[in-house]
């Protein structure tokens, strides 16, 4: 089966559907370049979660992501995740909204084609609102592989270095018994936890088991069953420390299907996880059961903290460009 491109509607939004024999993805350019679907076409499994509570609507710059636009799928967070004030000259004190700038803008479709190798190429771009950059993401779906590639570039249009953090923001459609895998001896830390469970901000552990003196250990790498007798709701943000190998994987309970990320450690060193097991909702709805599964540049959610305290932000040189890439596998 050759690759193919279809123009479709998702809700009322013009969208792009691309497929090979294994993978189907749907992209909505006007909703911040959202990838609303990543599907295993052989089994029918949809890996992206879609909110049953919030409908798709055109974002308004500056409004809260978690209250209005946490609809699921794969969004991009840049140049911050948490709302904050820019920490560097000449933008000192300029406010950056919740989940950054690019999710709330319609993206321009620069390329949508199938080349002579039967590779599908979709290139979308968006310009900064309060900051002088152009953010570009190209997606390639290969005809004979269970893999798609995301390539990123950001151009800085001014005479000052532009610090940033970036987080991919795919919300995963999870089931009890799934496992989140990292390379052996991966160290991690808690960014924050609702009600300080299972631990507190800054607590470190070796993935996947968090141990707190006086309490039973919690296996954070195992998706729990909310209907089980011993289920305890949990909402915790986790950052891996610098990884030793450039991969992570979410596998089904029976081990027959998986969703994986792959990346170069020269470009991406950390993965963030927001594990939300019936504990939290930012939209006044019942709490969600999902995870955000996030390769990231800068193991921190707020740009100001990343620059001033953790020293983990990246920087685009004046009049320069910053590039990285991310692979997604469906197995």
CATH number of the domain that residue 43 is part of: 2.70.98.10
CA distance 147 to 237: 27
**Predicted local confidence at residue 215, as pLDDT:** 83
The answer to whether residue 3 sits within a structural domain is no
**Predicted local confidence at residue 144, as pLDDT:** 87
**Predicted local confidence at residue 212, as pLDDT:** 85
CA nearest 331: which of 272, 255, 263, 273? 255
The answer to whether residue 51 sits within a structural domain is yes
Q: What is the DSSP track for 76-95?
A: EEBS-SS-EE--STTSTT-E
Spell out a b/e string for 182-221, using b for 16 or more CB atoms within 10 Å of the CB, else e: beeebebbbbebeeebbbeeebebebbebeeeeeeebebb
Q: Which residue has the tokens 């305290």?
A: 309
Q: Are 50 and 72 in contact (CB under 8 A)?
A: yes
Q: Which residue has the tokens 């939300």?
A: 276
Q: Per the structure, how many domains does the chain have?
A: 1
**Predicted local confidence at residue 228, as pLDDT:** 96
What φ, ψ does residue 309 adopt, rounded to 5°? -120, -45
The answer to whether residue 12 sits within a structural domain is no
The answer to whether residue 7 sits within a structural domain is no
**Predicted local confidence at residue 1, as pLDDT:** 65
The answer to whether residue 4 sits within a structural domain is no
The answer to whether residue 139 sits within a structural domain is yes
Spell out a b/e string for 98-113, using b for 16 or more CB atoms within 10 Å of the CB, else e: bbbbbbbbbbebeebe
The answer to whether residue 286 sits within a structural domain is yes
Give me the domain span that covers residue 112.
17-330
**Predicted local confidence at residue 86, as pLDDT:** 98
Per-10-residue mean pLDDT of the chain, 331 residues long, equals 91 97 97 98 98 96 96 98 97 97 98 94 98 98 94 98 98 98 98 96 97 90 96 98 98 98 98 98 96 98 97 98 98 91
């Amino acid at each position: 089966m050759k690759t193919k491109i279809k123009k479709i509607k998702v809700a009322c939004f013009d969208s792009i559907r691309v497929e090979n024999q294994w993978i189907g993805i749907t992209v909505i350019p006007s909703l911040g370049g959202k990838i609303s679907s990543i599907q295993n076409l052989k089994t029918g499994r949809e890996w992206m979660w879609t909110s049953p509570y919030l409908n798709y609507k055109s974002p308004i710059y500056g409004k809260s992501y978690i209250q209005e636009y946490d609809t699921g799928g794969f969004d991009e967070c840049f140049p911050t995740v948490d709302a904050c004030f820019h920490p560097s000259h000449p933008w000192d004190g300029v406010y950056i909204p919740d989940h950054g700038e690019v999710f709330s803008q319609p993206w321009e479709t620069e390329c949508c084609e199938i080349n002579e190798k039967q590779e599908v190429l979709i290139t979308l771009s968006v310009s900064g609102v309060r900051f002088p950059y152009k953010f570009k993401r190209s997606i390639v779906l290969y005809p004979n592989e269970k893999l798609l590639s995301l390539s990123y570039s950001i151009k800085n249009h001014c005479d000052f270095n532009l610090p940033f953090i970036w987080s991919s923001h795919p919300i995963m459609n999870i089931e009890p018994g799934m496992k989140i895998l990292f390379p052996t001896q991966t160290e991690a830390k808690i960014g924050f936890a609702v009600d300080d469970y299972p631990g507190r901000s800054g607590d470190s552990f070796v993935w996947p088991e968090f141990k707190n003196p006086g309490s039973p250990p919690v296996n954070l790498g195992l998706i729990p069953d909310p209907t089980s007798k011993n289920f305890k709701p949990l909402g915790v943000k986790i950052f891996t420390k610098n990884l030793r190998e450039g991969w992570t994987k979410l596998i089904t309970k029976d081990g027959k299907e998986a969703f994986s990320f792959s990346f170069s450690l020269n470009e991406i060193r950390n993965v963030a996880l927001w594990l939300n097991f019936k504990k939290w909702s930012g939209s006044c709805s019942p709490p969600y059961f999902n995870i955000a599964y996030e390769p990231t540049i800068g193991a921190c959610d707020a740009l100001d903290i990343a620059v001033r305290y953790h020293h983990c932000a990246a920087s685009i040189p004046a009049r320069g460009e910053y590039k990285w890439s991310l692979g997604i596998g469906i197995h």
